[in-house]
Amino acid sequence: MFLRCPALVTFLAEEQYYVMARNWITLAVMALAAVGGAGAQPSPTLEVASVKPSRNTIAESNLDSVRGRLTATNITVRELIRLAYGMMDYQIGRAPGWIDSERFDIAAKSVTSRTNGLEDAKSLARELLSDRFQLSTHREAKQMPVYFLLVAKGGPKLTNHDDSAPKIRKGCGRLVGRRVTANAIATMLSRQLDHEVRNRTGLSGEYDVQLDFTPDSGPCLVAASTDPSGLPSIHTALQEQLGLKLESGKGRVDLLIIDRIERPSEN
């Protein structure tokens, strides 16, 4: 009976059109969300975080991450930033002095317990820095001095690795690597020299290396000045002991620029 009314027929037709259109829009939005979220992992959210000034008088720090927990003792904020963003000191710009001088004891837990790998630990550290230190950053690429790692005249003096697991250790005037590649050696040297070192050796093997030298910068410099060993500089030692050399150059370096950072809020 009602369908015979032209006005009602028109209204019902329009209503059906709007319902169909709304359903299609809903399906489209859901499809786009599914595509956009494919493979994406939710970032860890802090369940609890304790940040306290450290009373440790020894300038050594410790950091551990397992099962959604991040624990650090006597750590500087710079060390935490290095972990969170995979950066070295020379890549961190506009850093206030207190991120090196002040140390903290930290205990953080994510709402999930799956955090176990390096990337998960980095994500949890970024969450902590944002939440408790109000850290915000941006990235830049800048032309800067770099070193190129090359094979020295006479060829490399590298020992092919044994069957032990990969290992890297460092100390004042010593770099030790087990089952490391030339890229890993360049990374070790980058940390020591506070400049980016790029591998240009063309070497593709895995090696056991030990490099002994006299530091010419950093906290080890004071100890080196009283060391009677008379070891050569790192540049000379690299050629004499490993048959490699460093050549100065220029290159674009990725930087992490600090826009904002504050001392931690109270627990």
- Structurally, the chain folds into a number of domains equal to 2
Final residue of a structural domain among 85, 100, 133: 133
Residues 188 and 250 in one domain: yes
Q: Is residue 22 domain-resident?
A: no
Q: Is 16 helix (H, G, I), strand (E, B) or coil?
A: helix
Q: Is residue 18 domain-resident?
A: no
pLDDT digits (tens, 9 = 90+) for 196-219: 999 999 999 999 999 999 987 655
Q: What is the pLDDT of residue 90?
A: 94
Whole-angstrom distance, CA of residue 68 vs CA of residue 109: 6
Task: Compute the mean pLDDT over every residue in the chain, rounded to the nearest whole number.
Answer: 80
Percentage of residues in the chain with pLDDT exceeding 70? Answer: 73
Q: Is residue 35 domain-resident?
A: no
Q: Is residue 239 domain-resident?
A: yes
Final residue of a structural domain among 133, 152, 182: 133
Residues 89 and 179 in one domain: no
Among the listed ranges 50-54, 173-177, 226-230, which one has the minimum average pLDDT value? 226-230
Q: What is the pLDDT of residue 42?
A: 41
Final residue of a structural domain among 133, 153, 168: 133
pLDDT digits (tens, 9 = 90+) for 99-155: 999 999 999 988 765 556 788 889 889 999 999 999 999 999 999 999 999 999 999
Residues 183 and 94 in one domain: no
Q: Is residue 13 domain-resident?
A: no
Q: Is residue 70 domain-resident?
A: yes
Angle at 102 between CA 111 and CA 257, to 5 degrees: 70
Residues 125 and 53 in one domain: yes
Residues 171 and 247 in one domain: yes
Residues 65 and 123 in one domain: yes
Reported confidence tier of residue 48, pLDDT bands at 50, 70, 90: confident
Containing structural domain, residue 117: 46-133
CA torsion through residues 105, 108, 113, 118, sign = negative
Q: What is the pLDDT of residue 206?
A: 94
Mean of the pLDDT values across residues 83-99? 95
Whole-angstrom distance, CA of residue 153 vs CA of residue 50: 54
